[in-house]
Amino acid sequence: MDSREQNIIGTYGLLDNVHPLPVTHHIILSTVDDDFFSIPRKCNNLAYLIFETTALHGYCLFAFCILPGQVHILCRPGNLLVSHFVNLLRFRYEHVMAKLDIGKRVWQRPFDEHQLRAEEVIEKALFIFDAPVAKGLVESAVAYPFSFVLGGKDYLP
């Protein structure tokens, strides 16, 4: 961990209560439209579904970040294969969008998914936390409303 990452952890108290578990996955979903999630309502609907779907299927959610054209999710799988979880999340989200009359295709196929070793989890959580800053969306990751990190940053729509 470099000094910048240590500074972020120390400054915001992030991940103080997070203990990496053996099998953690970093899931990356890309959208067809590069700025699809530039509308807050779309982000809030997806965030709700991420929280609900992980809870319903026994997933442990460590972090997520909804960027305009991409979504990062850091989690430990529960009682559903990761591929089934992602397909369910995408299906449920497109169903909600159809009900709101935003019925176009949202997701690129396929999704990216990486299994992480225990020592990689905190580094990946920091990467996800800092993604809005790296993309130039905000100056401080704490100010970005469409992200969550367990033990450090609540989702505040």
Q: What is the mean pLDDT of residues 73-101?
A: 92
Is pTM, for the whole model, over 0.95? Answer: no
User: Are 26 and 114 spatial neighbours (Cβ–Cβ below 8 Å)?
Assistant: yes
Whole-angstrom distance, CA of residue 155 vs CA of residue 144:
9
pLDDT in tens, 89-137: 999 999 999 888 776 789 998 999 999 988 899 999 999 999 999 999 9
Name the average pLDDT for the chain.
Answer: 87
- pLDDT value, residue 21: 47
Residues above pLDDT 90, as percent of the chain: 67
pLDDT in tens, 6-30: 666 666 666 555 554 468 999 999 9
Question: Domains of the chain, with CATH numbers?
Answer: 3-11+23-149 (3.30.70.1290)
Identify the weakest region by mean pLDDT among 7-11, 53-57, 68-72, 100-104. Answer: 7-11
DSSP states of 106-156: -B-SS-EEEEE-GGGHHHHHHHHHHHHHHTTS-SSGGG-SSEEETTTB---
Cis peptide upstream of residue 22 (ω within 30 degrees of 0): no
Sign of the torsion formed by the C-alpha atoms of 65, 70, 74 and 78: positive
* Tokens at 18, concatenated: 């997070």
What residue type is 13 in one-letter code?
A: G
